[in-house]
A and B are shown apart, each in its own frame.
Chain A
């Protein structure tokens, strides 16, 4: 069974804090990894793809550890506008039969509230 597990949250942090989200996935053959954010009753919005070498975009840093099947997202200097649910998302890539699979599998998300 292909699962994506995240910290249940919620995280309540003051403005300016650094916050880390963790995620584990069950299938070592997974190909692509993403962080999305979702505001209440809105669509998931792509925050960043996660590459094997790790990547950074401004205040956001994503890391991937394939050996541990672990993904992380770090937000530095958090802003009020960062308040949202953060979704860890995995694409499993090729299934055992060799057919390509492009569906995304979502974690349940971790809710972040940044407090003034």
Chain B
């Protein structure tokens, strides 16, 4: 069964450093998402991406965040200057289509980001 994959599984970085989290969505999926989950809290939407552009973003997704699909398979989330409060699990997700009868998103295993 196809899966979303993410690398690395755990990233430790110092405050102020840039990090790039990588995702390979399911191969025939066209819509991609990033979510995050701070330890003990609910999963929160960050951004959605389709046709090489951001289609929607949340208030969390400020100028420090960016997303990119650099090639036909990878989807990346960059945080330019990490803060302590960016420490969280970051999940990538993908879906095949967006119509409301079958908008099912499948999640990758996550990258645990620890900012020290």
Contact = CB atoms under 8 A, between A and B. Distances in A.
Interface of A: 31-32, 34, 41-46, 49, 87, 91, 93, 100-109
B43 interface: yes
B113 to A, nearest CB: 13
A105 B46 CA distance: 11
B98 to A, nearest CB: 5
A100 B56 CA distance: 9
Contacts of B44: 106
Given A43-B107, A44-B107, A87-B43, A31 B89 contact: no
Contacts of B56: 101-103
Given A41-B89, A43-B91, A44-B91, A103 B45 contact: yes
A75 B56 CA distance: 34
A104 B33 CA distance: 10
A103 B109 CA distance: 19
A101 B103 CA distance: 11
B83 to A, nearest CB: 22
Nearest to A87: B43
B110 interface: yes
B2 to A, nearest CB: 13
Contacts of A101: 56
A93 B99 CA distance: 9
Contact of B109 (A32, A42, A93): A42
Contact of A32 (B35, B91, B103): B103
A18 B31 CA distance: 36
A91 B100 contact: yes
A31 B99 CA distance: 10
Contact of B31 (A45, A46, A93, A102): A102
Contacts of A103: 33, 45, 48, 56, 58
